[in-house]
Structure 1
Amino acid sequence: MSVVIDWNAFLLVFVAALVGACAIVGFYAIGLRLLVRSGRAPVVSPAEFTDAITVITEKDLRRAEKKAAKAAKKSPLTAGEKRLALVGAYGCFALCAAAVASGIALIVIGH
């Protein structure tokens, strides 16, 4: 019994996975940057975790929200530019979701 590896297929899957991962991470990073640029910096409220993770206090959360609101007011962008950045951010997030959904569809349907 001999095992034969199709190296071309292996290389094709490797490149597709690498390009897909870079695209998802890249579009998410650009979307997050555009979201912050539009004046809607995401602030995550504290959650209860195990002792291994430090949880921020309510005071730190309020301070972060205040800092994000202050930074949004100081933005040099006009209202139209902020709206365009927000639309671009949502577009990038939609591309991320489409890439993940198409990958899942390839696994489920293509298999």
Structure 2
Amino acid sequence: MEMLDLILGFAVQVLFTAGGLWCGMKITKIKGDFVGMLLIAFVCSLLGFYKEPWGLILSLVSMFLLLLKFSGAKLFPDSVVIVLLSWAIGFFSKFLIKYLAGILK
């Protein structure tokens, strides 16, 4: 059961982070497709499985680099706004889903 929770948490985090990236790109008027945002969210979520400080740092750096490569956005303020928004949405949505699943048990 714990493996299922891990897989579902990962899938929800990827989907909500990709949605956050896409919304952030729409807000800052940067061109990008949703499939590219799914790829960026997937890679960054996988890197987030490393031990606590390093996974977070690797995920953040890779998200900046992949976003700069695939979207052509400027580092500041566009990429910073997009990354912070997507991280916040992905992080809180994962815990919201886990909380709601705990209530429904």
TM-score (normalizing by structure 1): 0.35
Which structure shows the bigger proportion of residues in helix conformation?
2
